Amino acid sequence: MPLFRYKALSSAGENLVGQMEAASSEEVIARLQEQGHLPIEAQRSDNLSEQGSLFSLFKKSEMSDAQVLQFTQQLATLLGAGQPLDKALGVLLELPESASGKKVLERIRESVRGGGTLSNALEQQHGLFSRLMVNMVRAGEAGGGLQISLTRVAEYLERSREFRMKLVNALIYPCILMVMVVVAFFLLFTLVLPQFESLFEDFGAEVPWYTTALMWVSHIVRDWWWVPIPLLFIGGYWLQKQWQNPAWRLAVDQRILNSKLLGTLIARIDTARFARTLGTLVQSGVPLLNALNLSRPVLFNQVLGQSVDVASNEVKTGSGLAYALAKQKSFPRLAVQMIQVGEESGELDTMLLKVADTFDTEANHSISRLMAALLPVLTLMMTGMVFCIILAVLLPIFNLTGAVV
């Protein structure tokens, strides 16, 4: 079923922007009206420029990822303790610290009290809860295992969050180091070198060509330091437009995947995310074809995403998942072989989760090795540049001293 993004006004006059699965835009409008909202716009996500937007990553949400994880964990715990759904939601209603989070829980509780299912209530929260979570909850409701499905959702969200935190923590120090290098050289070129230039001119010192070149760079940095700022905005706008071009993204992702430095790492990260998502969905009772469609958006690399699209069509015709993925030759061979073993043994969900664990570990090792190699390189670059600057400053001073003697 296609995914639609919509804009609407609530009965309280609030602007609502979200997404909803529906057969048509008319169905989206009808469902919004049933919820008491005034529909403004409803379009397929494929047709929206907002889809795939880089700037959409910075939009503020009513609940953070950490709050969604906490809500899922606490609700699963309360249901596991034998609490009815309505009472469990009532308990959780007293916990959120943010006013926006409390409003979300109030809407969910009112929907459930009105006779709706939890999955429908989550789906009505304007894209706050992912399609994956909504469908896993729906599968749990259909199979009578809502608490188990919520526990699996919580485990999935927790593992995804842990991996993101590991990635961020690994990148923090190199980023800080690079910022410090940029700031240090900016201060050297704008404050320190101009003073030495004046000194050399006053004493008529003989200046080597590389000192002259360095002073010329200092003039450019000092007089034109503002130029990169509009260039960054222009470049960001251009990248935003190109990001929405499927052909451009596919070509870039193909180059990244073929690169020796980043290709293997990106493939491992995306394989782990895809396998964990697909395995969790299949384990929760979601049919394989639906699970493939729901797992597709977690793939950042569009080449791998295109391979999943083609594999889904192959699975529709009766092919096995491992065979369909192997034909595309995009996913790592080890992952495909493990999936094949899972299909043959009738434990596809378990093997998919093992694939995720395996490639999570390999991705972490790759990131650690990359950071271990990057830090010495940055340090050597900084040391070399500082040495060149010191040499360019000291040589004219030595020449001046020799001339005086």
Q: Parse the chain into domains and list their residue ranges.
A: 3-51, 65-158, 159-405
What is the reported pLDDT for 51?
A: 41
What is the reported pLDDT for 50?
A: 39
Fold agreement between 65-158 and 159-405? yes
CB 281 within 8 A of CB 143: no
Name the nearest CA neighbour of 217 among 194, 199, 198: 194
What is the reported pLDDT for 60?
A: 62
What is the reported pLDDT for 96?
A: 61
As assigned by CATH, the class of the 65-158 domain is mainly alpha
Cα–Cα distance for residue pair 161/273, rounded to 1 Å: 11
Cα–Cα distance for residue pair 308/288, rounded to 1 Å: 12
Q: Which residue type occupies 165?
A: M
Tally of CB atoms within 10 A around 286 = 25
Cα–Cα distance for residue pair 18/101, rounded to 1 Å: 16
Strand partners, 19: 5
What is the reported pLDDT for 27?
A: 81
Q: What is the pLDDT along the chain (405 residues), one digit of tens a residue?
A: 567 777 777 776 677 777 776 777 778 788 877 777 777 777 776 543 334 444 444 556 778 888 899 999 999 999 999 999 999 998 988 876 678 888 889 999 998 998 889 988 998 887 788 888 888 898 888 877 889 999 999 999 998 888 888 888 888 888 888 888 888 888 888 888 888 888 888 877 778 888 888 889 888 988 898 898 999 999 999 988 888 888 999 999 999 999 987 899 999 999 999 999 999 989 888 889 988 988 888 898 999 999 999 999 999 999 999 999 999 899 999 999 999 999 999 999 999 999 999 999 999 898 888 888 888 888 888 888 888 888 888 888 877 776 544
Q: Which residues contact 24 (CB under 8 A, 6 or more apart)?
A: none
The CATH number of the structural domain formed by 159-405 is 1.20.81.30
Structure tokens at 289: 């074809």
What is the reported pLDDT for 48?
A: 39
DSSP symbols for 128-155: SS-HHHHHHHHHHHHHT-HHHHHHHHHH
What is the reported pLDDT for 405?
A: 44
What is the reported pLDDT for 231?
A: 93
Task: Please tell me the pTM assigned to this model.
Answer: 0.74
Cα–Cα distance for residue pair 42/7, rounded to 1 Å: 7
